[in-house]
Amino acid sequence: ERGRMNRRRVKDAVRTTAKGLFAAADVFATRAPGPRILIYHQIEAGLGRQMEVTESAFRDQLEWVQHNGTVVDLETAVDVKPGTDTSDTFVITFDDGYVDMYERAWPLLAQSGLPFVLYLTTDPVESQRSLTPGGKAEPLTWAQIGEMLESGLMTLGAHTHEHRDLRTLDSREIETESERSNELIEQRTGTTPQHFAYPWGHWFKT
Structure confidence by residue, pLDDT tens digits, 20-58? 544 444 545 556 678 999 999 999 988 888 889 999 999
- Report how far residue 149's alpha carbon sits from residue 28's, in angstroms, rounded to the nearest whole number: 40
Which pLDDT value is given to residue 110?
Answer: 98
In this prediction, residue 24 carries a pLDDT of 46
In the predicted model, what is the mean pLDDT of the chain?
A: 86
Q: Are 187 and 153 in contact (CB under 8 A)?
A: no
Lowest mean pLDDT among 1-10, 83-92, 161-170: 1-10
Task: Using alpha carbons, select from 104, 110, 187 the residue that is nearest to residue 138.
Answer: 104
**What would the pLDDT profile of 124-148 be if each residue is shown by its tens digit?**
999 999 887 666 789 999 999 999 9
C-alpha 195/C-alpha 183 separation (Å) is 14
